């Protein structure tokens, strides 16, 4: 975003880029305590825009926002300019980066690190529903896998994984998925756990021609099953 706007608005700005299939459309939507703006960049008759080192939608957004904020910059001392915190209809809330819902203690136990972040919301729009995706799981520190019933208590700790259903993560080919090793699925009573420690503990929920995706940069995913004790 605009270095000028970032500096003059005390870093009080936020935004998100966007694109459509084949890069036929580029977007940037962003806001400050004063203005909200969105930019679309593309052709009237859609065709691929190719690659850019910086999104032209972001560049145009920055130029427009610089211009409309200039009167504020010229007429108001920097210390007196609005911040999100100073706006009476805004409130800061802790949310889960995975679910977007109100953060819980479980969101802090994600093995990737705490997934709790803070963001500003209108008072009437602040999240009230707690995160229902992070679930606490007993995890064996010896095997570095999801614990089974025979894992000694002294080798276990609690972590949180992200709960999905088979229908949420269902591929016809086994592809790399960045968060594959952090997924959790509920298994039925008398479920037979896999002995292959390169697979997620819930892999046997899938038919032979369907896959949940596999973890990258690891030979033993976090959500594998502890076969050392079970």
Share of the chain above pLDDT 90, in %: 72
Higher per-residue confidence, 13 vs 161: 161
- Going by C-alpha positions, the residue among 4, 9, 54, 45 that lies closest to residue 24 is 45
Alpha-carbon span 189 to 227, nearest angstrom: 18
CA distance 204 to 208: 9
CB 223 within 8 A of CB 205: no
**Residue % of the chain over a pLDDT of 70:** 99
Point out the least confidently predicted range of 26-30, 143-147, 221-225: 26-30
Tell me the domain boundaries of the chain.
3-80, 88-125, 134-205
Q: Each residue of 154-169: pLDDT tens digit?
A: 999 999 999 999 999 9
pLDDT at 1 (0 to 100):
59
For the whole prediction, is pTM greater than 0.85? no
């Amino acid at each position: 975003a605009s270095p000028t706007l970032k500096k003059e608005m005390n870093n009080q700005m936020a935004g998100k880029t966007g694109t459509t299939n084949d890069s036929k459309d580029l977007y940037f939507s962003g806001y400050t305590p004063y203005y909200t703006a969105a930019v679309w960049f593309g052709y009237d008759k859609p065709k691929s825009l190719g690659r850019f080192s910086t999104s032209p939608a972001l560049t145009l957004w920055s130029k427009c926002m610089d211009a409309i904020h200039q009167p504020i910059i010229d007429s108001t001392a920097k210390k007196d300019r609005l911040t999100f915190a100073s706006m009476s209809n805004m409130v800061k809330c802790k949310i889960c980066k995975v679910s977007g819902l109100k953060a819980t203690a479980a969101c802090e136990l994600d093995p990737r690190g705490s997934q709790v972040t803070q963001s500003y919301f209108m008072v009437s729009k602040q999240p009230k529903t707690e995160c229902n995706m992070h679930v606490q799981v007993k995890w064996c520190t010896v095997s570095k896998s999801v614990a089974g019933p025979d894992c000694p208590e002294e080798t276990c700790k609690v972590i949180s994984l992200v709960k999905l259903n088979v229908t949420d993560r269902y591929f016809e080919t086994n592809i790399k998925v960045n968060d594959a090793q952090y997924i959790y699925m509920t298994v039925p009573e008398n479920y037979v756990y896999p002995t292959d420690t390169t697979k997620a503990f819930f892999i046997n929920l899938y038919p032979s021609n369907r896959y949940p995706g596999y973890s990258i940069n690891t030979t033993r995913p976090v959500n594998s099953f502890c076969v050392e004790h079970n």
